[in-house]
Amino acid sequence: MKASAAVAIVIILALIGTAVAAHSYTQLQQKDVLFDENSIQLGGQSYQTWEVGYIPGNIFNIFTLRMIGSVDSVGTGVDFYLVNDTNWNSWSTDIGLRSALSVVHLNSDVLSSQSGGQFSLAAPLNNGDIIVLVNNEYPNVNNASVNVNIALQYTSLFNFCDFVAGLVLLGIAIVLLTVMIRKKARALAQNP
């Protein structure tokens, strides 16, 4: 095989490795939406609940699973709670323990339309959580509108393997190209 053909093959190998690694890197972080509701109205209730179920630890996910979310409201007096479903009975009967029993608690000041509430935590190892929106001004005020978005963020095992394979391919191409260049330089030095 001619040297120029070998160099071309190695350069193509390097380009393929770079493309695979770059594309896989952009796909490493995956996100599954668990709950996404806009303009939730509490109406004439002191609080409303929704269940969020998921099973963390899928064998195709690696590294720490994270639950990420954002909550904001237009209007006043709404608190957001994310409660582990095993704590639900205690949470619903003991007002004093609500903050302590919640995985996340964002009060009405945090959720105001001027700031908005964000949270991120290692995904709890249970099979579900309960979203609770509490109307602190019930029954006097019922005009709040709340937006809630919760997602599970993880790194895909397949994309991670593709990323590593792309880097390995690129590394092999660089080593081969370096060896070829040194060989050529030695040959030129011996035969001026």
**What pLDDT is attached to residue 168?**
92
| Cα 21 to Cα 2: distance, rounded to the nearest angstrom | 29
**What pLDDT is attached to residue 101?**
85
Tell me: the pLDDT tens digits for 121-169? 887 656 678 899 888 877 777 677 888 998 888 887 788 888 899 999 9
Phi, psi of 58 (to 5 degrees): -55, 140
Reading the block at residue 45, the tokens are: 């209730």
Residues contacting 66, CB < 8 A, separation 6+:
120, 121, 122, 123, 152, 153, 154
**What pLDDT is attached to residue 126?**
62
Residue 182 sits in which domain range? 3-25+159-190
Question: Per-10-residue mean pLDDT for the chain, 192 residues long?
Answer: 78 88 84 85 81 62 76 84 86 85 85 79 74 82 82 82 90 89 81 70
Quote the number of domains for the chain.
2
- Looking at the structure, tell me whether residues 43 and 119 fall in a common domain: yes
**What pLDDT is attached to residue 135?**
85
- Looking at the structure, tell me whether residues 58 and 72 fall in a common domain: yes
**What pLDDT is attached to residue 96?**
85
CATH of the domain at 105: 2.60.120.1540
- Looking at the structure, tell me whether residues 35 and 48 fall in a common domain: yes
